Structure 1
């Protein structure tokens, strides 16, 4: 762990690990209380998290088993907003928080019809939510989550949405790339399997220089096998999201054909 001072604010470097299910989707991170004291923060304070991008979240005390490990637990959406993956390092500091007077949101990648009732609903869901311009937030609607991008805040920097905040929703979408629909937190009861698959797939994708330095060939493929419904496809989607890889789901019946050469042609068309 490295503790430094920047612009009269203390900051610390922590390693990112996945959030536990109870903390997913709540703009919450888990940090050792001793580390929070080092940066002048307390549980319940908003912290600024800097990876390849900046975001903000509410700091909660770490779980007892995490004490002394210099880690920060973040869910998939917060990791995306910070531009990091599991195992990366982030800089954490106590945020200089201001109340938001205006927050402008736009749907990500698709259009949506907006009325005053929906604006009030979105505002209610985001009360006391810390945001930074460029963040993605998920609004639950009819058993699904609609992603919105924070395209402008007044003032700038880390702001917290309150009852006095003017929420502006745009109907025209913005291109925001891939939203992490499936993350490691969505997969239950597969901790050991996830760890093995991450070593086989995530490590070569993120750190190919390690294999080159050692003079060994990284795995060219991994076979996941098991009965239907155990989570093979879900795990593959989570890995693709966490590594920013492109994912194509191909089901056998989609490519099989009784005619010679037609299955091969369908594969070439994918």
Structure 2
């Protein structure tokens, strides 16, 4: 909620009421960098803000604008900014910005260096009256060229982190809104049991629980039939047991790459403590 309030302040106010900044005599922010783990909803937030403000939304997927042909990548970037200025008020959203704007001293590719330079030029060239906001999203903010992170470019950085228990409950309510749940499903309990889960993990958990429910009915469903008996469909509901099974089969994405090594140690390997060993 705090992050959403920040984004609304930095995006909605300049796009809807630019006179507020003009009357005080300051320039509104041009760029906002959203960073956080994969699946935390960075792209979704950008689309939601554009929808609420009624702004034209131009999405650039970092790897998509890369081209082998000399100068084409920069041309693609220029066209995006020109299109956004024509359709102002608008939001340019650059997803996976770290893939097109890495630190120039650490990259060997000439294309990446030229794209960073072009992006710097385009952001500096945005007129304060153009009503264009640039939003970037990344999982690795420290791998972006530092020149992009200074004031006047991506001068605001917002951490879209892992949701807390209340945030997880809200996400679960959204994903189960159209699901047929049994009476024993306690979303508050599930939100307590899903520490470390981001929005995408919770969506996957709900899907897995629904699949568990379908698997239970596979014995009475004839896949050769064109339709499934209405009685079977009416008897289906996702229960707490389905969710518990799904929890056992899923891991939060933040922990998937973490492997905990359990040492193979027995009592014989420990010296002393004879009374304890008994």
- State the TM-score, normalized to the length of structure 2: 0.28
Tell me which protein shows more strand as a share of its residues.
1
* Rg larger in structure: 2
Tell me which protein shows more helix as a share of its residues.
2
